Structure 1
Amino acid sequence: MLRDKAFDLVCVASHRSDCLANLERLSRTVPLPPIVYIDGADDSRIRHEVDARFQLAAYFKREYRWTSTSKVGHFVDCARAFHFNRRLFERTHPFTMCVVPDAIPQHHGCAKDIDVSFYGIASHQKRAQAMALLEPLAHEGLTVAAGLYAAATDKAYKLEATTLKRLIAKIRDPSTVPEEIQRRKLSPEDYYRTLARSKVAVSIRGGGFDTLRYWEIVASGTFLLSEKPDIVIPHNYEHRTHAVFCRPDLSDLQELVRYYASHDAEREAIAGAGHAHLLKFHACEPRAAQFLEICRNAL
């Protein structure tokens, strides 16, 4: 079929050596159509080795952090990331995750009896900081459903919120997390039901900013409280229209939880607008259309 030119492009979505080796072997057998690459890693590294091997027609980057109109500091970061390769820069596009709406359970009519929820794996210090801010709200009378979990191989220091405590824990307690921490992870059924019951659901970055929770909360029809993205997200949620963004240092997180947990009409209006916006721009079908449009322009 490749010899008959039945395909307009080749889409590569892995940088594993065996995948790239297979593609290279195939390219030596038959001429390939233009190759586009989807980099779904949760880091901001540009994989120049992939472009060098295949001269990519387009590069889709999940954790895209650069724009051509950035400030000087960001320009320097961009130049470093792309190795002053303007051709690759111009062919690289932001491409975040999306959701399949039918895969998100809808618990219509579910009582909103949880004021704020946040569950996540301990993959970033800021998640531990968020936990340290949310847990005290329970002493104010708010209903808090939150927990950090970790894998069996994770070290216990990852649960600490401050840099000093993490350093001390690394020295004093190099052990892995206990089983009770591992068991904090909710089942999919419990997770989605918790989202549906939540007045406010918090999303905090993990290994990268683009996490499923950022999209799942809104897809569940629940109000999203998140950090402001530090990556480029085309058609992102608008602050106080589709979601609410807290300060990067989380200093207003508690204040925003208190406010929106008690202002039902304002909160639910934002949640509803966010859900409609997600279906228009961030469900699987519009994301596929965005992908194809970029490919069409690149080819």
Structure 2
Amino acid sequence: MARIERILFIASKQSDYLEDIAFTGLSDALGRENIIPLRAMRKHYIPTHHYPKAIACRRNLSDYFSDLLAGKKMLSRAVYDCVIIGSTKRDAFEAYDSMAQKISKNAKVVYIDGGDESEVGGDASRLGFAELYGRAFSKRAPDVIFKREYLKNKNYPANVYPLPLSYGGPLVDGAGGVKKYDVVFWAVDNIPVRAKVLDFCEGKWDCAENGTSRGQIFKKYNRKGIKYLKELAASKVCYNFRGGGWDTLRYWEIPAVGSLMVSGKPGIVIPDDFEHGKHAVFCKDDLSDLEGLTNYYLKRDKEREGIAAEGKKHLLKYHLPRHRAEYILEIIGKSA
């Protein structure tokens, strides 16, 4: 198995959760000096946003110019084992398109597709740069592809592997274990299942009082960053249901803060996923058992908190950025 030691990483200026998780994890796994951005991005050095858009900001501002020079040197001298295209974003593909034919033949090319679409590169069409996407890969196709929305019931090429999100935020203790909310689901209702869940929650438990209702607007959330995580930690039962894609940050945040996750069953492949009744609770697709499950665990504090604790242990063992990085490096190393 070939060992990957130095990576040239093509990042987007925009926040992309899977790209940011991968960049952070690989920097920890290989050392920041061995994963160099092709173009040093502000998001890696200056904390201009709160969690979760600050996931990638793990480098010091003093590293900016040294990384800038290192990226140019790494490209010109081809002193890298691997080039990673971090996301399905236009600026990342513009950068790749401009240098694809210059990449060392001995280096692996890896593409991380963290978009919402189930087709590989589907976000390139959705976002309007399908021609650029096709042209770039006609110059040098990727050896390995990692896909966030890797559907369970869909066949993918042999070089495509599942890569879900993980928890890249700080570990919080909530309110010292005090649970002040019963049932929470703070989400935008722009997806049918979310609208259905929020309609179902109307008039039940303490949902109206805690803001679990229709008409929420993401930009106007009053729970953001660390405050949001602490509020999740102060909740007995936290719902998770898919957004634009199956994978959501909430799926990882709820176990991370030590609360019970009641979720729809993911339609994507998640290696080392949470188990029903052991790490989390999964309801039926038609939501017919959602009320019963919720009432059951609200009445059984010890059982509920036990599952939540096991969910957190499982997450800390398998679902942090460093675990995604180890998996990425293992797959790349095994590829022919």
Q: Distance in 2 between matches of 1:275 and 1:293?
A: 24
SS of the residue aligned with 2:250?
A: helix
C-alpha displacement of 1:136: 2.7
CA RMSD of aligned residues (A): 2.5
Q: Distance in 2 between matches of 1:30 and 1:240?
A: 48
SS of the residue aligned with 1:116?
A: strand
Q: Distance in 2 between matches of 1:209 and 1:216?
A: 15
SS of the residue aligned with 1:25?
A: helix
Q: Distance in 1 between matches of 2:220 and 2:267?
A: 31
Q: Which of residues 26, 48, 62 is equivalent to 2:148?
A: 62
Q: Distance in 2 between matches of 1:14 and 1:193?
A: 29
C-alpha displacement of 1:249: 1.2
Q: Is the 8 A contact 1:246 1:252 kept in 2?
A: yes
Q: Is the 8 A contact 1:135 1:144 kept in 2?
A: no
C-alpha displacement of 1:31: 3.0
Q: Is the 8 A contact 2:164 2:247 kept in 1?
A: yes
Relative to structure 1, the CA distance from residue 6 to residue 184 in structure 2 (aligned partners, 3 Å threshold; closer, same or farther) is: closer
Q: Distance in 2 between matches of 1:17 and 1:237?
A: 34
1:93 paired with 2:161, answer yes
2:288 equivalent in structure 1: 251
The sequence identity of aligned pairs, in percent, is 34
Relative to structure 1, the CA distance from residue 149 to residue 99 in structure 2 (aligned partners, 3 Å threshold; closer, same or farther) is: farther
Residues 7-52 of structure 1: CA distance to partner in whole angstroms, max 9, x if unpaired? Answer: 1100002333443232232233453522100001011022283654
Relative to structure 1, the CA distance from residue 194 to residue 293 in structure 2 (aligned partners, 3 Å threshold; closer, same or farther) is: same
TM-score of the aligned structures, taking structure 2 as reference length: 0.68
Q: Distance in 1 between matches of 2:210 and 2:295?
A: 11
1:176 equivalent in structure 2: none
Q: Distance in 2 between matches of 1:212 and 1:288?
A: 17
1:229 paired with 2:266, answer yes
Q: Which of residues 98, 112, 137 is equivalent to 1:38?
A: 112
C-alpha displacement of 1:297: 0.9
Q: Bigger shift: 124-133 or 141-150?
A: 141-150
C-alpha displacement of 1:115: 1.2
1:22 paired with 2:95, answer yes
Q: Is the 8 A contact 1:137 1:144 kept in 2?
A: no
1:131 paired with 2:217, answer no
Gaps of 5+ in 1: 67-73, 83-88, 152-180
Gaps of 5+ in 2: 1-73, 122-132
SS of the residue aligned with 1:147?
A: coil
Q: Distance in 2 between matches of 1:190 and 1:17?
A: 32
1:118 paired with 2:155, answer no
C-alpha displacement of 1:61: 0.4
2:9 equivalent in structure 1: none
Relative to structure 1, the CA distance from residue 294 to residue 252 in structure 2 (aligned partners, 3 Å threshold; closer, same or farther) is: same
C-alpha displacement of 1:251: 1.3
TM-score of the aligned structures, taking structure 1 as reference length: 0.76
Q: For residue 15 of structure 1, what is the amino acid of its counterpart?
A: T
1:146 paired with 2:212, answer yes
C-alpha displacement of 1:222: 0.5
Q: Which of residues 56, 64, 81 is equivalent to 1:8?
A: 81
SS of the residue aligned with 1:285?
A: helix
Relative to structure 1, the CA distance from residue 256 to residue 90 in structure 2 (aligned partners, 3 Å threshold; closer, same or farther) is: same
Residues 192-218 of structure 1: CA distance to partner in whole angstroms, max 9, x if unpaired? Answer: 232121111100110011000110000
